[in-house]
Chain A
Amino acid sequence: MTFHFSRSTRLMSIGIVLSMGWFLFEACECDPDTKEQNFPGFWVACVNNKPTLMTYNDNNATVVSTDQAGNFNPSEYDCSHNGSPQYKGSESSSPFQISSPAGPAGYARQGHATTPQYAFLPQLLRDLPFLPHVPAPNTPPQCDSSYPDVLQTNHDAGGLIRFRSCPFSVVAQIPLGTNTLQVAITPDGSTAIVTSFDSTVFFVDLSTNTVKQTVLLDSGLNPNGIAISPDGTRAYITSFNNNTPTPVIVVMDLTSANKNIVAQIPTIQFPSGATLTPDGSQLWITSPLSFDMAVIDTQTNTNIINLAINATTDVAFNSTGTTAYVTSGAGAGAGQPGQVYAIDTATFQTKQTYTVGASPSDIQMSYGDQWLVVNNNADGSISVIDLQQKAVKTTNVGGTPSGIAFVH
């Protein structure tokens, strides 16, 4: 079941006035059946200060004189205080519902007769507060310089292109070396870091749109994916190969003048994408050519776990970094559905699996953690995942979708 509460409503659940959480889990609309029909089981109550097993007979609460199953042990309950009994066991819950002699009316009643409903709160109210892009009064959104620019690597031409997103225009074409692959921007917005498969990393000054530093790595390294730590001090660069003894992730010190390599972390075959959790504590590595993906602890640069997910391409996180959404199914042909795995970043267990289009290549999370958008490379479609309703809608857009971003 899913509930959509505005933040104001959430406040009520934990603030000073309400206990709404209880409603979330346990309240119901009820059919007018007998209490016995609605609660066919047993409960324990204090009768004359003694723990007593009870059940309903039609609408009447009745003492059970003999527990034929032998599960009821009065010594496990305490009736020395006011109200309902306390279960003494510390290792597990009471095997019976605890209630008053009048009975737990309502428990196990039939649920709402209709299909699950979702709140009809207007979308704006649901997302508020903190809706960041509300226009000023009576001023519809207009293109202006506050809209972000977009950077795109050009693999074949070996360069970087900077676009203005609104109105659309090419700001600069920045020639780099050969076989450029991926790009990331430092948190202060000053520098774009571009990887080249040909053992090179380029640093581009975004105030001048010129290359300010080129770092040549060992020839055995083939830079591909890149992630930059939230504090801007480290870059994590995947080396896309299957070298022996093992492929690696390169950790680069961005504070050093020469951009020193401070660690090489052994990892899965053909590591490609690199994505950090929002707090920068975990680095998730994807590979379209591996049966595994890797999760790395960035404080120690050690592997936390390898997850047996095949042919992964991209990762997105919710805003709290508690769930990773991983696209899987690279290389499959049109008509072969791909998957998005929702994985708990604490336990690394899969919480949910979504079926999307063929060969999903990119995934992005919307502000507010409500929508995921997935490019499906092989069948020319885009899948939109509604995380509240846990529903997927896939739309054919044609071509070969690759690369995706939200414009804010």
Chain B
Amino acid sequence: MSMVKLEIDGRLVVTGKDKTILEAARDNGIRIPTLCMLKGLEPRASCRLCVVQVEGMSAFAPACATRVVPGMVVHTTNEKIRKDRKTTLELILSRHAVDCHHCLRNGHSYAADLDPVFCEMCFFCDCVRDGFCELQTLAREYEVDELPYQLEPARYETDCSTGVVFRNPNKCVNCRRCVDVCKQVQSVGALGVQNRGAKTIVAPVCENLQESDCVQCGRCIDVCPTGAIFAQEKIDEVIYYAHQYGTVTVAQVSADILGRLGELTKLKPAELDLRKVAAGLKKIGFDYVMCEDYALAAALQVAGKQLEENLSAENPVMMTASHSAEQFVNLEFPELAGQVISYPSAQQQFGELVSGEWAQAQGLEPSAICKISVTQTHTNAAEALHNGSVNYVIDANELYRMFLRTGVNLRKIPVKEFDCFGEVPAVDVELRQLLTLGVPEMTQVPQELTISMSGGLKVIKCQNLGQTRRMLELVKHKKADAAVITLFA
């Protein structure tokens, strides 16, 4: 790739010719704020927080979407840019239900007073993202305190219709990450932009999400920068059951929360031991905390058997543990629905184990047990709601807030070993890779793998619903070239 020389903030920068100003800056340790930008999707350049001054241009250029040009001279920050970024934030906040700072002790709060990263003082921060909201962080950085406009009262109801993915349009900043992820990555398109100008709103086509094509995969939750879309929280109930005599609380913690938990706590992977999470949960009052290994291995053994039993020369075996992927197939490919084999997720297996063998061994009534699954894979929440496998599903955001509320400091708490169902059964490495998702991908092309079963088989792993759709189109037209296809949302 040919290289381009340009100047950013007085520094000579050399970068690839197809890079944007933002990429060139980041590669050289120069920070430019962003909000609507999301890695993996085409930049939208609509929030206007990444604006920079390019000499020779009268208007500011959006760094996220402007390609570098040889000899370009860029200023990422100066008085006017900072003033204009602040105005942009003020404008967003002017119609954003600002309830993250309802601290009783201060009356009304100013940026300088509160450190929301670790605020133990007041529990009246109503917003689900207080402390890790991208908008709040930027507003703090640009010292947005007093808004010069009349604030709009909240005018939309929170959409709780799915019981899993909640929408609060009053917090939406119109970044459209959710729309793009739902349409371009997941190919579902349940959310869309409606109306024009100041009436623009991100909404499902009908009254609520439940009546739309939403399959509750929760990707929108993961990309929303504010509290506009979030996973349902039941912190109060969970803590109640943790404390209640007569209820045995059993939790399973999945390793899939590590990525997000690391972002929230700012702990590095080496410092973020899942056993600290176990310690934290025990401190809150959970009676047993299992790690995922046993249940996952048990689930994979079941899946492995199903796979072997169903291998056929003519048709690929289609398998999924994802409730959302199942719903997606029922909706979009009803003719194939009967052919897709469901294998249990680690959560489902956990639920069965606890209420079955484990309860018996412990001499407990299943009805006295409260089962909690701690996982970042949101479809698990939909599955629990639908099948009742566990009582509560907690994602990393909710876990983090729960720990804030109860004074658990993951940085300092000593590790506690997990409780165990038993010795973890061995699972074939190749099968594990095929049958578990890992990090959710935004790419268009499914992963092609080979497994050594039956003398070597070509298998395909669809890591999001867009990949799933494309693969199933091939299956529909008998053009799929794989022995096994796993589907994930």
Tell me, yes or no, whether A binds B: no
Interface residues, chain B, with chain A CB atoms under 8 Å away: none
